[in-house]
Amino acid sequence: MRLPADGGGAILLRGDSLTALDWSIESGIPKIARGLGTDLEEKIVYAVDTDGRLVGLDLFARRSRVYLAAARDLVTTPEGVIFGFDSAGHALRFAGRTLTTFRASVDAGPTSLVRAPGTQVAAVSTRSGIIQVIGDDGEARRIEAPAGRVTSTWFGDMIAVTTDSGVLFVDPRGKPDPTFHRVDGKLSSAVFSPSGHRLYVAREQGDIAVLAPTLQGSTRLNVSDAGTLPLAGRASAIRIDKSGRWLLAKPEQGGSVWLVDVVRRELTATIQTSWADDLPVVTGGRTLVARSGRDVVAYDITGTTPVERARLSGAASDVFMVVPWAPRTILPPPSPVAEAPTDSVPESAEVDSVPTAAQPVDSAPPRLDSVPEPPVTPAGATPLYLQVSSSQNAEWARAFADQLKQGGFPARVIDPAKEDEAFRVVVGPYPTREEADATGRRLGRPYFVITLRGGGT
């Protein structure tokens, strides 16, 4: 979505071609400073205007309105829940067009808000490092932590505080106890993978350390080193796309961005562009949208080097957002699951092949309102499935499977048979390897071809 920095109208664009879809708000939108997120249940896109107000754009009614006029430091969750502070300094939550003001007082001084489990929010003092977990009934708990840079998983079940010497992992629910993991080298920035399986940490030696936090039962958190990702120098900021495949890094110096393929663990390209809250961003799992001077450019990143596919002249001053929605009359972007949060490489189980990196195809994806039945497996044949994700978070796994179904793929969740196993998202079944791989190519992401001996939901 292209939002007006100078006020006026908004339009929806295809991420791969930057061509306009049959949707717009002609006028009446105030000057937009930054985008926030999308509440798909309410069909509202939220943004912050230059006066700091929360502005909502109704996708169905095609009009805008101001929802919160006296809030500050607004942040959002992947499903469009808004957190912030009111004029009195109390934390607030805005969800389903309903405002909730938390009664608990937040410690004085600079404070950032991150999501906590359920309807809770975590207020982190950037001065003392104290983490206040706040719910509807008041302060649920207070956790001591060192001062540092704070990030959380998309579902709020883990907070990471990055210091110069390592990372403190904190479960806002209070158990297990916080775990500090020492990392060699001075650290600058960190971000969780979409499912929370990995934490990517930029280091001064010019690479990214990959950490793997794993719950051991309900009382212990184990953190292991899971390798590194290459960079061409020191990075001051990093972000990951919603497919978990691509990581973007901002060099400490110069006007460029590094593009890292997380699956192949390769530095794919250096793009000359600026770094802002909205751009650059990877959309559809295959397209990088970035500013180039006064223009905005879409690059195809599926090849060995990025290729410019589209350019919007004079658009660089406006604000852009990835919106996981399209009018029913319009086919969705080429990758139906591009905006679904998931890790890049699924864990193997009963795997009969190495991971297959899906390749882009020219055929159109299925319609969002039509979910085809999988092919019938002949009697006696072993049905095959595509495993596309493995997660310890049951809520996230089922949400991802639902998004795949909405995209036209017969997806389901395989529950773990043992406590230390994960919830696996699979697509299928398919009677032959050829039909399974054909669907895998349409998915536009890495996958495993597997057989199953258990059920799913």
Query: pLDDT tens per residue, the chain (457 residues)?
Result: 999 999 999 999 998 999 999 999 999 999 999 999 999 889 999 999 999 999 999 999 999 999 999 999 999 988 889 999 998 888 999 999 999 999 888 887 788 888 888 888 999 887 777 899 999 889 999 999 888 889 998 888 899 999 989 999 999 988 888 999 999 989 999 999 887 889 999 999 999 999 999 877 667 889 999 999 999 999 999 999 887 889 999 999 989 999 999 988 999 999 999 999 999 999 888 899 999 999 999 999 988 899 999 999 999 999 999 998 878 655 443 333 333 333 433 333 332 333 343 333 322 333 333 334 455 555 556 889 998 887 767 777 887 887 777 667 888 999 888 766 778 899 999 988 888 888 887 776 667 888 876 544 4
Alpha helices in 345-454 (DSSP H): 394-406, 433-443
| Beta bridge partners of residue 203, listed in sequence order | 187, 207
Q: What region, left, alpha or beta, does residue 266 occupy, with left being phi > 0 and alpha being psi -120 to 50 degrees? A: beta
The set of residues, in sequence order, having a beta carbon less than 8 Å from that of 52 and lying 6+ positions away, is: 33, 71, 72, 74
Pair of tokens at residue 436 = 């399974």
Yes or no: say if 126 and 113 are a contact pair by the CB < 8 Å rule: no
Give the architecture-level CATH label for domain 345-457. Answer: 2-Layer Sandwich (3.30)
Compute the C-alpha angle 192/195/196, nearest 5°: 40
Per-residue confidence (pLDDT) for residue 336, from 0 to 100:
35
Distance CA 60, CA 42 (A): 9
Residue whose tokens read 């899971």: 226
Per-residue confidence (pLDDT) for residue 358, from 0 to 100:
39
Beta strands (DSSP E) in 231-350 are: 235-240, 246-251, 256-261, 266-272, 281-283, 287-292, 295-300, 307-312, 319-320
Yes or no: say if 308 and 295 are a contact pair by the CB < 8 Å rule: no
Distance CA 133, CA 141 (A): 5
Which residue ranges make up each domain of the chain? Answer: 345-457
Single out the residue of 291, 94, 51 nearest to residue 29, CA to CA: 51
Which whole-number Å values give the CA distances from 116 to 68, 87, 281, 398, in the listed order? 22, 22, 25, 19
Per-residue confidence (pLDDT) for residue 337, from 0 to 100:
34
Q: Which of 296-332 are b and which e, b meaning 16 or more Cβ less than 10 Å from the residue's Cβ?
A: bbbbbbeeeebeebbebeebbebbbbbbbebeeeeeb
* Amino acid identity for residue 125 in this structure: S
Yes or no: say if 317 and 12 are a contact pair by the CB < 8 Å rule: no
Per-residue confidence (pLDDT) for residue 101, from 0 to 100:
93
Residue 106 CA from chain centroid, whole number: 28
Distance CA 424, CA 405 (A): 15
Beta strands (DSSP E) in 273-422 are: 281-283, 287-292, 295-300, 307-312, 319-320, 384-391, 411-414
Distance CA 289, CA 281 (A): 5
Pair of tokens at residue 152 = 């959380």
Single out the residue of 402, 350, 393 nearest to residue 214, CA to CA: 393
Number of Cβ atoms within 10 Å of the Cβ of 51: 11
